[in-house]
């Protein structure tokens, strides 16, 4: 006989017996009597026995203690998930159990809090991106890119999608999975090896009447800005393709928004906005669009502001649900149902705290920090910093070719000094030689960056 | 019965609280280092984000939270959503910097703790569903379905008959995500009708199966809460036709330790971590939707998988036949950590208790509610599993009060309403899943609320029709919300319209 359970109020023997009697059943097993014996047999779970809350907590914390986090070492990893400071007030907002333990607001009258928070989120993301509309979240940037490609194909009725050559491996791999079954061909557009700029010639060669969308990132995966964004957008428009810009939202207090640069669809990763690293998930996919004609092809949930029927008060509810899977089934714009609503609430709280001034100041701080790191590293013999001659933000590539050391070797030696170096790029971009993508944010002190420089200097001297 | 009144703050939008110069951040650092940045790269106007203090932000969102109903306030019996209470200790576990501050690209040596957890969890999930190998990557149930359908695609491609096998068969009682995911993976959807007892019509299935069949997607117990007792025959038919059998894990809660989908003949299973294993739904997410497959399909799983070599754990990217990635990085790791801690704490007996009590609660409530005037429990079955579907068709016919009216009135009793109008095969459907985490007293009160609403429907239907009145707002004008002329999706748009006017 099992003991009563703290999370299962009716698990006490007495209550159970009374409920079973009410049902006219002797044993709870009778409720599973319709399952064929051959299935019921061998259904016992070979799992560890139950532990008390305290035992479990001690055990899990012990296992977790074997991780060294970005608090234990100085980390320069970015590449799609970045260390940014999360204000305590953000964590407080998303730990409100009324938000945390609610579901998709199918009954809007009793779910106004979540709906209003998500409406505000949509408003702030649209504003930040310089777009008219934003949805209430996708899973992450990678899936947002997949959705954007499929969306542009639906809108234009075309099946080729142009992407920049220097793109995150997470995003390109996810994009491939999304595009293959839809029959969308992904075509790389070359970027200049010196400046990172999209090659105008290559773009003109590859864009044609089959092109559904032209996608660029600004700043790029490798941290540099594209200078010809508007021109690329014009070329896309001339050819009847949609122009999609991926952006890091933390840059948008300072740098030009996708809307200003002419994007039809803007996507990005919302993790920097008040969400923790969490070993890469959950993340927050941003997707916004410029025009109403795109709205109906948009994936994901949308919250609208309306009135109560009696006209006495504003109210919020889910809108345009006829795009979604629970109504439209196989004709839906996406299969997404569970999304990242709570991460979106975190982003809304974060953007409210930061405001326009905070976001601008944060952008400047990150810019200043990453410049300091680049300047200091540049002083080391044999390092090319940054590898691309362009304006950078937050991330930059360090070239190690002249040092004669592999980037992975440098990282291994940095790790011995309590420093996690940047992402080694050789496997994905062999043409960049021995190089690594470094990320510097507001979380890095000058001391951290100086330590990195000293570390690399020592490693170079050990050669 | 308690008197319920939800908070009503009439809280303005946070943008409307904005006052120039007010700040909610504290940042040190230099202010004007960007002077040499080319001007065309810079933003022209500051974004119109709110300028509010931290105090404003906290009050705003705490007020909004009070205008929101959650499981921690009471029963939330949305069918197939498994809105159950989740142990508070799990919130503490995932707040540890040892997960929150881990970067996914850290050196494997520095993340042995979380890799071990993910690896062990993969094994436990495989054991629970009775299959061989797991990928933790999909971020939600629908992503698991998409990954599963892509695996079907890869399997048939390997066999050289993907060109031909372009159909996925789905019962008409299925969740909308099933056909949407199948279509996303490039398949045609063939819908088959249910039979008179609410289960898969095996004759219709036989007639639909052919050498064009890629597979069948099924939930078991199905969305009516009925166990598909013919499942072994169904599996045989699908496999004989060369198709694969996909299990939608939305209703797994009822099966824990009682029946394994692998034993039922399923080849691919997705698991909704946020339904079954200790994760609150967060107002719609984040969740996590791992998939499990049989041995013959494991090479197709998304890349990477979490593997063990002696005492060392690592991510295996060397999977040449993989469908690739469906999401960035490795999955929703902090959600998966909750599942690990939950399973460790529940143990095998605790999980079986979950299944038993969720089913007991559903049957207890089904019996009570089927006695309420105007409500019927369609389909003759002795027992339901974790959920059941009532029809309010009789009430609608006799009083004009529909399932939707009834649901709105229930809110006034401080409970969340069931899912309405789903599954599509039941008229005036009310789909109810109480879960194992409600007490008998709550079930009784919930049934009482139904009885009262039924009485009102037959005696003073306008009271029901004019509800809800005890929620933060009264009945919402949905038509206005979605009408092209009045639809308003952002605050920015509103200001634009105002300026025009």
Domain spans, chain A = 74-84+355-462, 88-350
Give helix A407-416 / helix A446-462 axis angle, nearest 10°.
120
What is the dotted CATH code of the domain comprising A74-84+355-462?
Answer: 3.90.1150.10
Contacts of A99 in chain B (CB under 8 A): 65, 68, 70, 282-283
Mean of per-residue pLDDT scores for chain A? 96
Contacts of B252 in chain A (CB under 8 A): none
Distance from CA of A403 to the nearest CA of B (A): 22
Average pLDDT rounded to a whole number, residues A126-140: 97
The order of strands in the sheet holding A423-424 is A395-399, A435-439, A423-424
Q: What dihedral do alpha carbons A83, A88, A89, A92 form, nearest 10°?
A: 110
The verdict on a CB contact (< 8 Å) between B66 and A113 is yes
What is the structure's pLDDT at B28?
A: 84
Sequence-separated (6 or more) residues with CB below 8 Å from residue B385: A31, B221, B225, B226, B227, B251, B254, B255, B359, B362
CB A324 within 8 A of CB A299: no
Facing B346 at nearest CB: one of A50, A105, A329 = A50
Closest to A438 in 3D by CA, of A384, A380, A402: A384
The verdict on a CB contact (< 8 Å) between A120 and B143 is no
Read off the pLDDT of residues A331-377 as tens digits, 9 standing for 90 and up. Answer: 889 999 999 999 999 999 999 999 999 999 999 999 999 999 999 99
Q: Is the four-CA dihedral B44, B49, B50, B53 of positive or negative sign?
A: negative
Facing A117 at nearest CB: one of B64, B303, B337 = B64
pTM of the model: 0.97
Facing A309 at nearest CB: one of B67, B323, B477 = B477
What is the structure's pLDDT at B112?
A: 98
SS3 B293: strand
Read off the pLDDT of residues A279-334 as tens digits, 9 standing for 90 and up. Answer: 999 999 999 999 999 999 999 999 999 999 999 999 999 999 888 888 888 888 99
Read off the pLDDT of residues B45-79 as tens digits, 9 standing for 90 and up. Answer: 999 999 999 999 999 999 999 999 999 999 999 99
Contacts of B323 in chain A (CB under 8 A): 177
Residues in chain A: 463
Facing A177 at nearest CB: one of B11, B325, B337 = B325
Mean of per-residue pLDDT scores for chain B? 95
Report the residue of chain A nearest B180, measured CA to CA: A330
The 10 Å Cβ neighbour count of residue A205 is: 12
Closest to B216 in 3D by CA, of B253, B257, B261, B252: B261
The verdict on a CB contact (< 8 Å) between A43 and B258 is yes
What is the structure's pLDDT at B30?
A: 64
Domain A88-350, what fold?
A: 3.40.640
What is the structure's pLDDT at B499?
A: 40
What is the structure's pLDDT at B501?
A: 36
Contacts of B51 in chain A (CB under 8 A): 355-357
Report the residue of chain B nearest A446, measured CA to CA: B29
Facing B101 at nearest CB: one of A71, A140, A357 = A71
How many degrees, rounded to 5, is the angle at CA B205 between CA B200 and CA B208?
145
The token duo for B355 is 């299944």
Residues lower than pLDDT 70 in chain B: 1-2, 30-35, 492-501
Facing A330 at nearest CB: one of B182, B385, B490 = B182
The verdict on a CB contact (< 8 Å) between B128 and A360 is no
Closest to A81 in 3D by CA, of A264, A228, A232, A284: A284
The 10 Å Cβ neighbour count of residue B12 is: 12
Contacts of B329 in chain A (CB under 8 A): 80-81, 140, 170, 279-281, 283
Facing A97 at nearest CB: one of B6, B72, B482 = B72
Please give the Cα distance from B86 to B51 (Å, whole number).
36
Distance from CA of B12 to the nearest CA of A (A): 9
The verdict on a CB contact (< 8 Å) between A177 and B116 is no
Report the residue of chain B nearest A23, measured CA to CA: B364
> To which residue do tokens 């469908």 refer?
B323
Residue A189: what are its φ and ψ, rounded to 5°? -110, 130
The 10 Å Cβ neighbour count of residue B127 is: 18
What is the structure's pLDDT at B32?
A: 63
The verdict on a CB contact (< 8 Å) between B103 and A308 is no
The verdict on a CB contact (< 8 Å) between A61 and B488 is no
Residues in chain B: 501
Contacts of A356 in chain B (CB under 8 A): 46-49, 51
What is the structure's pLDDT at B494?
A: 52
Distance from CA of B400 to the nearest CA of A (A): 19
The verdict on a CB contact (< 8 Å) between B229 and A255 is no
Question: Which residue, among A281, A356, A374, A425, would best test binding to B if mutated, counting the most B CBs under 10 Å from its CB?
Answer: A281
Distance from CA of A292 to the nearest CA of B (A): 10
The verdict on a CB contact (< 8 Å) between B58 and A112 is no
CB A299 within 8 A of CB A336: yes
Question: Which residue, among B59, B96, B131, B285, would best test binding to A if mutated, counting the most A CBs under 10 Å from its CB?
Answer: B285
* Secondary structure percentages of chain A, helix, strand, coil, to 5: 45, 15, 40
Question: Which residue, among B284, B468, B484, would best test binding to A if mutated, counting the most A CBs under 10 Å from its CB?
Answer: B284
What is B428-484 written as a DSSP string?
A: TEEEE---TTS-HHHHHHHHHHHHHHHHHHHH-HHHHHT---SSSS-SB-HHHHH-T
Domains A74-84+355-462 and A88-350 share a fold: no
Question: Which residue, among A123, A151, A168, A308, would best test binding to B if mutated, counting the most B CBs under 10 Å from its CB?
Answer: A123
Residue A446: what are its φ and ψ, rounded to 5°? -60, -35
Contacts of B256 in chain A (CB under 8 A): 45
Give whole-number Cα distances, A315 to A108, A119, B73, B472, B477, in Å.
8, 11, 22, 9, 8
SS3 A325: helix
Report the residue of chain B nearest A257, measured CA to CA: B43
Question: Which residue, among B100, B328, B340, would best test binding to A if mutated, counting the most A CBs under 10 Å from its CB?
Answer: B328
A133's enclosing H/E stretch is strand A133-134
SS3 A398: strand
Contacts A–B by Cβ distance under 8 A: 701
Contacts of A119 in chain B (CB under 8 A): 13, 489-491
Q: Is B88 exposed, middle or buried (0-12, 13-18, 19+ CB in 10 A)?
A: exposed
Distance from CA of B463 to the nearest CA of A (A): 15
Sketch out chain B's domains with CATH numbers. 91-346 (3.40.640.10), 349-473 (3.90.1150.10)
The verdict on a CB contact (< 8 Å) between B260 and A5 is no
Sequence-separated (6 or more) residues with CB below 8 Å from residue A109: A315, B408, B411, B468, B471, B472, B473, B474, B475, B476
* Secondary structure percentages of chain B, helix, strand, coil, to 5: 40, 10, 45
What is the structure's pLDDT at A327?
A: 84
Report the residue of chain B nearest A66, measured CA to CA: B113
What is the structure's pLDDT at B500?
A: 39
Contacts of A97 in chain B (CB under 8 A): 70, 72, 280
The verdict on a CB contact (< 8 Å) between B140 and A139 is yes
The verdict on a CB contact (< 8 Å) between B66 and A98 is yes
SS3 A37: helix
Read off the pLDDT of residues A183-240 as tens digits, 9 standing for 90 and up. Answer: 999 999 999 999 999 999 999 999 999 999 999 999 999 999 999 999 999 999 999 9
Question: Which residue, among A15, A45, A134, A271, would best test binding to B if mutated, counting the most B CBs under 10 Å from its CB?
Answer: A45
Give whole-number Cα distances, B265 to A38, B191, B232, B246, B261, in Å.
11, 21, 7, 9, 7
Please give the Cα distance from A28 to A18 (Å, whole number).
11
What is the structure's pLDDT at A322?
A: 85
Please give the Cα distance from A54 to A47 (Å, whole number).
19
Residue A57: what are its φ and ψ, rounded to 5°? -65, -45
Question: A314 has which bridge partners?
Answer: A307
Question: Which residue, among B42, B43, B348, would best test binding to A if mutated, counting the most A CBs under 10 Å from its CB?
Answer: B43
- φ/ψ bin of B388: left (φ > 0), alpha (ψ from -120 to 50), beta (otherwise): beta
End-to-end Cα distance, chain B? 49
Give the distance, in angstroms, between the CA of residue A456 and the centroid of all CA atoms in the same chain. 31
Report the residue of chain A nearest B38, measured CA to CA: A391
What is the structure's pLDDT at A1?
A: 62
Give whole-number Cα distances, B332 to A140, A282, B83, B337, B401, in Å.
10, 5, 19, 9, 42
Q: In angstroms, what is the C-alpha Rg of chain B?
A: 25
Facing B488 at nearest CB: one of A44, A280, A304 = A304
CB B262 within 8 A of CB B130: yes
Q: Is the four-CA dihedral A76, A77, A80, A84 of positive or negative sign?
A: negative
Distance from CA of B459 to the nearest CA of A (A): 24
In this predicted model, which residue has the larger pLDDT, B1 or A146? A146
A383 pLDDT exceeds 50?
yes
Sequence-separated (6 or more) residues with CB below 8 Å from residue B26: none
């Amino acid at each position: 006989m099992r003991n009563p359970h703290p999370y299962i109020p009716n698990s006490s023997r007495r209550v159970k017996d009374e409920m079973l009697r009410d049902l006219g059943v002797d044993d709870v097993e009778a409720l599973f009597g319709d399952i064929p014996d051959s299935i019921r047999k061998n259904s016992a779970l070979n799992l560890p026995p139950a532990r008390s809350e305290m035992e479990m907590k001690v055990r899990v914390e012990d296992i977790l203690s074997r991780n060294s986090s970005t608090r234990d070492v100085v980390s320069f990893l970015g590449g799609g998930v970045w260390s940014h400071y999360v204000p305590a007030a953000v964590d407080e907002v998303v730990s409100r159990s009324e938000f945390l333990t609610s579901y998709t607001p199918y009954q809007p009258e009793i779910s106004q809090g979540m709906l209003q928070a998500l409406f505000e989120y949509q408003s702030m993301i649209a504003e930040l991106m310089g777009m008219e509309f934003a949805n209430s979240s996708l899973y992450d940037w990678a899936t947002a890119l997949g959705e954007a490609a499929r969306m542009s194909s639906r809108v234009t009725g075309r099946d080729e999608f142009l992407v920049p050559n220097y793109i995150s491996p997470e995003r390109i791999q996810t994009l491939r999975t999304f595009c293959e079954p839809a029959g969308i061909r992904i075509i790389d557009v070359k970027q200049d090896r010196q400046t990172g700029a999209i090659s105008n010639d290559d773009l003109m060669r590859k864009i044609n009447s089959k092109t559904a969308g032209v996608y660029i990132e600004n700043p790029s995966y490798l941290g540099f800005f594209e200078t010809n964004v508007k021109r690329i957008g014009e070329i896309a428009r001339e050819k009847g393709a949609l122009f999609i810009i991926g952006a890091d939202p933390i840059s948008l207090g300072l740098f030009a928004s996708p809307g200003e640069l002419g994007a039809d669809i803007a996507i990005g990763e919302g993790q920097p906005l008040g969400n923790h690293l969490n070993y890469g998930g959950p993340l927050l996919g941003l997707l916004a669009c410029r025009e109403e004609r795109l709205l109906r092809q948009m994936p994901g949930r949308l919250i609208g502001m309306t009135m109560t029927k009696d006209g006495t008060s504003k109210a919020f509810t889910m809108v345009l649900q006829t795009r979604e899977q629970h109504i439209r089934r196989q004709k839906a714009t996406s299969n997404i149902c569970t999304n990242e609503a709570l991460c979106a609430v975190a982003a809304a709280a974060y953007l409210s705290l930061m405001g326009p001034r905070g976001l601008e100041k944060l952008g400047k701080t990150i810019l200043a920090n990453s410049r300091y790191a680049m300047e200091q590293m540049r002083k080391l013999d044999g390092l090319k910093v940054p590898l691309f001659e362009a304006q950078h933000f937050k991330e930059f590539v360090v070239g190690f070719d002249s040092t004669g050391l592999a980037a992975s070797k440098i990282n291994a030696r940095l790790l011995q000094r309590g420093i996690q170096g940047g992402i080694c790029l050789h496997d994905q971009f062999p043409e960049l030689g021995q190089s690594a993508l470094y990320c510097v944010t507001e979380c890095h002190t000058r001391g951290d960056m100086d330590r990195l420089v000293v570390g690399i200097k020592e490693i170079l001297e050990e050669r | 019965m308690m008197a319920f009144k939800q908070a009503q703050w009439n809280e303005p939008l946070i943008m409307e609280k904005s006052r120039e110069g007010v700040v909610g951040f504290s940042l040190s650092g230099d202010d004007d280092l960007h002077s040499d940045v080319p001007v065309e790269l810079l933003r022209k106007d500051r974004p119109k984000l709110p300028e509010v203090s931290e105090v404003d932000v906290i009050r705003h969102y705490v007020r909004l939270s009070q205008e929101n109903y959650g499981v921690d306030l009471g029963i939330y019996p949305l069918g197939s959503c498994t809105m159950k209470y989740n142990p508070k200790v799990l919130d503490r576990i995932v707040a540890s910097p040892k997960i929150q501050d881990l970067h996914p690209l850290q050196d494997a040596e520095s993340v042995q703790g979380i890799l071990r957890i993910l690896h062990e969890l993969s094994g436990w999930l495989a054991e629970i569903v009775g299959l061989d190998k797991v990928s933790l990557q999909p971020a939600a149930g629908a992503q698991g379905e998409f990954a599963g359908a892509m695996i079907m695609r890869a399997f048939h491609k390997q066999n050289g008959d993907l060109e031909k096998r372009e159909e996925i068969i789905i019962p008409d009682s299925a969740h909308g995500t099933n056909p949407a995911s199948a279509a996303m993976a490039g398949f045609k959807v063939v819908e088959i009708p249910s039979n008179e007892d609410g289960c898969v019509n095996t004759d219709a299935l036989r007639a639909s199966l052919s050498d064009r069949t890629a597979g069948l997607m099924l939930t078991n117990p199905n969305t009516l809460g009925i166990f598909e007792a013919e499942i072994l025959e169904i599996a045989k038919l699908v496999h004989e036709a060369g198709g694969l059998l996909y299990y939608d894990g939305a209703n797994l809660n009822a099966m824990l330790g009682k029946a394994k989908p692998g034993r039922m003949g399923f080849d691919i299973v997705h698991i909704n971590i946020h339904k079954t294993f200790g994760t609150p739904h967060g107002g719609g997410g984040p969740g996590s939707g791992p998939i499990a497959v049989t041995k013959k399909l494991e090479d197709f799983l998304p890349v990477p998988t979490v593997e063990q070599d002696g005492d060392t754990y690592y991510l295996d990217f060397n999977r040449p036949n993989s469908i690739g990635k469906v999401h960035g990085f490795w999955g929703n790791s902090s959600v998966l950590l909750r599942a690990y801690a939950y399973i460790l704490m529940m143990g095998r007996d605790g999980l079986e208790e979950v299944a038993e009590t969720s089913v007991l609660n559903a049957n207890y409530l089904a019996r009570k509610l089927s006695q309420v005037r105007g409500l019927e429990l369609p389909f003759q079955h002795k027992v339901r599993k974790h959920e059941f579907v009532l029809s309010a068709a009789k009430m609608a016919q006799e009083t004009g009060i529909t399932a939707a009216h009834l649901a709105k009135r229930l809110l006034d009793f401080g409970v969340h309403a069931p899912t309405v109008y789903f599954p599509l095969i039941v008229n005036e459907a009310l789909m109810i899943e109480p879960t194992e985490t409600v007490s008998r007293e709550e079930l009784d009160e919930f049934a009482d609320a139904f009885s009262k609403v039924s009485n009102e429907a037959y005696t003073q239907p306008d009271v029901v029709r004019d509800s809800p009145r005890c929620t933060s707002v009264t009945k919402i004008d949905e038509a206005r919300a979605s009408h092209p002329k009045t639809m308003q999706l952002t605050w920015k748009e509103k200001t634009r319209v105002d300026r025009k006017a």
